[in-house]
A = this chain, B = another copy of it.
Amino acid sequence: MPAVPIGQIVEFVCGEYTGPGGLSVTAVNTLREAAAGELSFLSNPRYAPQLQQTKAIAVLVPKQIGGNDVRWVRVDDPYFAMSQVVTRWFTRRRMPAGISPQASITPGAKLGRNVAVGAFAAIGDGVTIGDEVVIFQGVSVEAGAVVGDGTVLYPNVVIYEECVIGRRCVIHANTVIGSDGYGFATNRGKHHKIPQIGIVRIEDDVEIGAGTTIDRAAFGETVIGEGTKIDNLVQIGHNVKIGRHCLIVSQVGIAGSTELGDYVAVGGQSGLSGHLKIGSRVQIGGGTAVVEDTPDDSKVMGYPALPFRQFARREALLKRLTAKGELGGHVG
């Protein structure tokens, strides 16, 4: 771990700081867990009371914060500033380097410059791997798939054939891209498989968590738009189109052919029915069941989904009705 002079950090984040200049920062940590010598930050106001007790040597705080403390570094956005500092000085992930002799790479695969492939990874026929790609142990990239420059595939990721992954993507362990969509035509009491002959196309700068599944299209493409970030254990059905810069939290399920605009945020464990149109900048609370088209800029939650305000009104009503002595007085 490095020791970074506080002055360098203040300059890097364009901060305002009046404390002593000779300090060095050895790590970044939360207010509660920071030890002497570590930098911390305040982004969630919930943790403001910890500003007093923290042992951090310096703290990134919002510009408009009241009070004063020699340890404070005032910045526009402490969370973003912290992320920049960590990225610049304190990242330490160790990656595989070079091509493992224990990998299986078919002669028909094309690898870019400076590619790393871990042990027991399998690269199929006709695969194209860009420059600076890192492939961990146990990854499968099947025939005809494309992986863009600078992308990282963690252990046991599976990319089914012909799928296309953009540049600078990150896909965490045991995630599956391009498995068959759930498509069956029922005839005379049997469910007949509809071959899923489309692909998945993931645009640049997408991050996908661990254990997530994204199905290939029945025809055409399942698309994940540029800059979208998907969490763990998310299910994306066939022919779904997700726009740019969306946030899809863990355990969300999006059924087939549903389309999301840009900057949509979907809370954890929400479910979206198939064949819906969800506008841009829609916010969907956690655990919500979306069963209807939802216009731009909506905020919805509940089972089934209601506008935030309506959901709150319904909850308040139900609380009032079930309070002792009222309508529900002789119930239960």
Contact = CB atoms under 8 A, between A and B. Distances in A.
Interface of A: 27-30, 33, 44, 46, 77, 79-80, 82-84, 86-87, 90-94, 100, 102, 104, 118-120, 122, 124-125, 136-138, 140, 142-144, 154-156, 158, 160-161, 170, 172-174, 176, 179-180, 182-187, 189-195, 197, 205, 207, 209-213, 215, 218-220, 227, 229, 231-233, 235, 237, 239, 245, 247, 249-251, 253, 255, 263, 268-269, 271, 273, 275, 286-287, 289, 291, 302-304, 309-310, 312-318, 320-322, 327-328, 331-332
Contacts of A137: 104, 122, 140
16 contacts: A46-B275, A77-B185, A86-B195, A94-B124, A104-B119, A122-B155, A160-B173, A170-B180, A172-B180, A174-B213, A176-B232, A273-B286, A287-B289, A309-B332, A313-B322, A314-B328
Contact of A173 (B83, B104, B158): B158
A119 B120 CA distance: 8
Contact of A185 (B82, B207, B231): B82
A237 B247 CA distance: 15
B313 A176 contact: no
Given A104-B119, A245-B189, A231 B312 contact: no
Given A87-B193, A322-B317, A184 B229 contact: yes
Contact of A209 (B84, B119, B182, B332): B182
B174 A250 contact: no
A194 B87 CA distance: 7
Contact of A239 (B30, B86, B179, B271): B30
B322 A125 contact: no
Given A29-B220, A161-B93, A332-B316, A286 B289 contact: yes
A278 to B, nearest CB: 16
A114 to B, nearest CB: 20
A269 B268 contact: no
Contacts of A245: 189-191
Majority secondary structure of chain A interface residues (helix, strand, loop or mixed): loop
A255 to B, nearest CB: 6
Contact of A304 (B33, B92, B173, B315): B315
B195 A227 contact: no
A29 B144 CA distance: 20
Contacts of A136: 140
Nearest to A100: B104
B249 A251 contact: no
A207 B118 CA distance: 28
A327 to B, nearest CB: 7
**Top 5 A-B pairs ranked by shortest CB distance?**
A179-B210, A80-B185, A104-B119, A176-B210, A158-B173
B185 A29 contact: no
A180 B250 CA distance: 13
B194 A82 contact: yes
A137 B245 CA distance: 33
Nearest to A77: B187
